[in-house]
Every structure is written in structure tokens, then in C-alpha cells.
Structure 1
């Protein structure tokens, strides 16, 4: 059965609810791996989709590893442009939203060579046909910026398996579209244990923690994306935010309602205001009523700017001290590398590869 089947998704959602209960009872028993590619400014879609949840898990006491996936920038592009700047900006966003480098490990892929050494044995555990069938890889290939499919793109799910398994993460917050990737990770862990472990598993089979986060559309009514220029960045100032929201797509109906199926653009703006205010979206729509798109955009602008004000203030303060940003990343790199070295030693022992 495909991992994109509705039945599989429903099962994953049910399991996520069970995991949330377990986290609430004993958060310290779990380890989470999550992260982003440094390809541009993080935006509100990222924040309400994943970033806010990372801070929640960290604050609950879940051990959290946050990956700056710099090597994986090359997955769907020929070169990694402005990489140093993008990495620093990404770490700034992490610190500004509340990821604490004392409680979470923020690290860069390229700084942990032991992690990448796991890739070769992991590749031996997955067939070409299995990678070829992966629906997420097919979608990424279809939207790639590369002239041809690179080996990195084709083996991307196995790279992600190394990212997750090097620290033995047992929880991975993902969207439904990432379930096939996680299934590859689970397959790699299971096959390695079956082939090499002498009765004692080396790797856990990580589980998906599906976020109930709603989908926010970009200002043009399509998926909010860095590359489409339709997103409100966390680093945007109040004036830029206002300008972007003024230009957001709505519809011709004056009365404001919350109906994501029939009125996706209007409903996404309503939802954004509701998320920032911590209220139900239908309550926002009812309050605006016949005020029309102008009143809706004014409400959204005020809500977003109010919500982001403390995040922007923290970001500006951190930006004044780039040494602090680099120190946070350096410390995280050292912690991640120590974990990866231990895991690699276990892998070598299991494979009888000590010489």
C-alpha cells in the first residue's frame, strides 16, 4: 500500500494523536529531528506550519535536533548561491522564534562528516526501484531547477534517513507529503537492524508526528513559497508586511466569510489573522462581515505586525551580534558531531568494520 493512500494517512494521524499523549506524559523519552534547507527567508507558512511546533516540543522537554540542511540545497538546483548568508539568516530566524541553543541542537549538515559516512551503507539497503517509486521524489523532480536529475536528488530520501538516524531520532514532525520519505527511513533502519544487528537494534524506526497546522496560501492565492515571491517573511518589517498584504488576492464578494473550499484566498487571510490572534477564523470573518477586502486586509496587517513585533525585536538584537549566531551554530555542530561519531562507531561494530 502506498504511503500516500488515505487509509495510511488516517492511520498516521491516529498514531500522531497517540504520540502527542505520550509526549505530554513523558517528553524526555523522545528525540526529534527536524530542519530546513537554507534557500531563502523563512515565512509565516513555515512558522505556523512547523516552526511554532518545534518551539512547543522544545519547551515541553523533548530533545530536539534542528538541521540546517546546507548540502541539501543542491538537491534541486545546480549551485548553492549565497549559502553563508542564507545559513546565518536561517539561524537568526530560529533564535528569534524561540529555539534555544542551550536546549536544542542547531547544526549544519556539512559540519558533521560522520553523518554523511552513514549514507553509503544506507544506500546499499534500498533498491533503485524503491527510490524510483517514491512519490515525493517524483514531485521534486518535476519541479526541479536542474536540467537533469542528479544522483543527489534521486537518493534524497536516503540522505534524509542519514539525517534522522544519525541521532537516533524517534519522532519526525512532517507534513503528509513527507510520509513516503519517512517510510524510506523506517525501511533503512529496519533492514540495517535485520542485516547487521545481533539481536540488539542499532536504530529505532522513527515515527511521523503529523502537524494539524492549516495550509496558508501565498499572497497570489497559490502555495506560500520562498521561490514564488508570494510569502510574508519573518524578517519582513511592518511596512513590507503591509504592502504584501495589500496586494494579496481576494475575490469579488464583499461580505467576508470563512469557507476554505469555496473562497480559498479570502479564507487564508482570515485564517492568518485568527492564528495571530489565537481565535477561531469564523469569529474573525463574522466581525469583519460587510467590511469587505479592505477591512480584512487591515485586520490581517494589524494582527500579523502585532504578532511578529517581539520576534522582529529579538531578531534585530541577535543580528547585532553575529558572533552569537555563529557560536550557537558552532556549539550545535560540536554536539551533533559527538552524537554522530558514537552512532558511526556502533554502525562499524555491527558491520564488523573495525580495522
Structure 2
């Protein structure tokens, strides 16, 4: 089963430089996507990427990466890594990702990914890595006392994740676009230096605006300002009650002057499949209390089928899915690493 299809955002696929591609051109694409197991996935993940993944699995070959090694990019210890991996895969199953259609695998189970990292690092400069805007933002919010070298190599690590399976479509949120551009840069330079091996991947994004967290900042697992897909109805209601708004009674959709109110209206609109301005008009002079009440009802209604599907799966399902996915992903990685070594003359 899939997620709530009537309310999914539209998707678009296009090269970061070359614009839109036709459906005919995309018939043979391979999709690579995934997440770090640092905590529960949230609504920002769903509307930013997960909904597109569920759609794409019916059309394309797809790999879904659980990037466990990358957890230590911005923290000293991986935390409850095994628990987080289980919860992450349960989230995948809950939104409709089907392991019969996609290959779900762990980074740490595929050592060839780290072997690809070394030649890829030789293709980018320190300056190019240090000015990556996503890296800058992650450094600013890192929990480490000192930033590790892994933080700067993170985009190239992701390039290895994408290119090992010759990935050509990468469903991402807007904040991950710079990483896809680094992957394109690595693929292009490798091909120019050693011969044609890799395709140039394209980013695929939903059309909806980037959701902010309930505190007005970037929605993030680590910042505690997001509504988890696994949250209960009561937990969801409590989070929304604490969301920032303002003191004006008339509810209007004004992203510039009333960003917190606009963000809640956007969230409700995505869950209900309605325009945020229409929702604002409906609330009228109801104020923040009426707004939060409507958002709570919309989000809980949206999450009910996801919660139900999540409860249908066990940890035994998770272990079986990962064992099968790891084996299939490693078979592909061994082939690609051999092609790279041959091209480089090793």
C-alpha cells in the first residue's frame, strides 16, 4: 500500500543545469535516495522526498539507503544506531515504500562505498567542499565540539552513495540540492579524466515550499521542532499547541510578514490538499487557537493511515528486509568499483 495519494505534492524532475526532462528520456533512470538514522522521520521528510519515492518505486529501479556511517558526520557518537535503523525502516514501510519493489540497504554493510570515496575525493578541491551551503548549515548546528574532517567530505560520501548504482534521479528536499550538484561534478570530472563510467544524476523535488519547523527555524530531527510520522495523536496535538504564531486575530497567509502563521497554513494545506489562503479565509478572525485546532485535526487525519501501516510490521520484518537489500546492493557496488579501478588503471 502507498501513502495518502490524494494529498501528495506534485513532483518534478530536472537536471540542476539542464532543466526539465521528458518522460521518454527518463524511462530507464535509476533512483537513489535515503536518510541518516538519527531519529524519526517527520512531515518535512514526507512532503520533501518520501511521497516522491513512493511514486517512483512503481516506475523505476530504486535503491533506498540507510546512511548509518554518516551519522557520525556531525556528532561524536552514533547514539542508539540499531534502534534508529529499525525505526527508520518502519517509517519507510508506513509511508508505503515496498521492499518487493526497491532495494533498502545499510551503508555500513557495503564497504565498496567507502572505497569509491577515495578516488572521488581526488576530484574536488578543499575550497569547493568548504563553501557548500548545506555543509555550512550543518556545521553551524553540529553537536560536536570540533568539526571533523568527515563533515567536509560528506557531499562526496553522498556522491559515492548515488553513483555506485549509477543513480540518475535523486529525490531530495531543497536543502540537499548542493549535494546533488557535487555528485554531478564528481561524475563529470571522473568521466573527463578516466573515461565514461557514470551518468549525471538529476535532482527530483516536490513542488511544495520548504516546510519550516514549529519554532520557525529549519525543520529538523535534531532540533526537536518537527512532527514525527510516528507521533501519536496526543503528541502531535501537544507539538502544534507550542508552535509559534503571533497575536493578530485575523488569520492571513503572508509568508513575508507572518512566516510562522503561513507555515502552519502551509502544513494544513499539504495535509488537506487545499490552498493555504483558502484555509486562512475559512478561519478568519478565529485567531491562533482556531488555526492550531484546524492544523492538529488535518495532521492527525493525514497520519492515521501511516500510523496504522506502521503497526502492522515487526522488527523481524526489518531484519529480513535489510539482509536481502544489503546482499543485492553489495553485488551492484562490487561491479561499479571494478569498473572504476579498471578505468583508473589499478
TM over 0.5: yes
1:337 corresponds to 2:335 = no
* Partner secondary structure for residue 219 of structure 2: coil
Residues 16, 181 of structure 2: 8 Å contact kept: no
1:303 corresponds to 2:298 = yes
Structure 1: runs of 5+ lacking an equivalent: 1-10
Residues 13, 210 of structure 1: 8 Å contact kept: no
The count of corresponding residues between Structure 1 and Structure 2 is 333
Residues 32, 171 of structure 1: 8 Å contact kept: yes
Q: Which has the higher helix share?
A: 1
1:313 corresponds to 2:311 = no
Offset of residue 69 of structure 1: 0.6
Offset of residue 26 of structure 1: 6.2
Offset of residue 139 of structure 1: 2.8
1:207 corresponds to 2:202 = yes
The answer for the alignment partner of 1:182 in structure 2 is: 180
The answer for the alignment partner of 2:35 in structure 1 is: 36
In 2, the alpha carbon distance for the partners of 1:229 and 1:166 equals 33
* Partner secondary structure for residue 75 of structure 2: coil
The answer for the alignment partner of 2:126 in structure 1 is: 128
1:212–1:90 CA distance, 2 compared to 1 (3 A)? same
TM-score (norm 1): 0.88
Residues 55, 99 of structure 1: 8 Å contact kept: yes
Structure 1 runs (4+) deviating above 4 angstroms are: 11-16
Offset of residue 79 of structure 1: 0.9
Offset of residue 83 of structure 1: 0.3
1:259–1:96 CA distance, 2 compared to 1 (3 A)? same
Cα distance per residue 1:146-186 (max 9 Å; x no partner): 22221211211111111111011112223444333222222
The answer for the alignment partner of 2:193 in structure 1 is: 195
In 2, the alpha carbon distance for the partners of 1:350 and 1:13 equals 27
Residues 47, 206 of structure 2: 8 Å contact kept: no
1:14–1:273 CA distance, 2 compared to 1 (3 A)? farther
* Partner secondary structure for residue 145 of structure 1: coil
**Greater relative contact order (Cα < 8 A, sep 6+):** 2
Offset of residue 187 of structure 1: 2.1
In 2, the alpha carbon distance for the partners of 1:217 and 1:134 equals 21
Structure 2: runs of 5+ lacking an equivalent: 1-13
Q: Which moved more, 1:107-116 or 1:50-59?
A: 50-59
Offset of residue 352 of structure 1: 2.6
Offset of residue 13 of structure 1: 6.8
* Partner secondary structure for residue 323 of structure 2: helix
TM-score (norm 2): 0.91
In 1, the alpha carbon distance for the partners of 2:84 and 2:185 equals 32
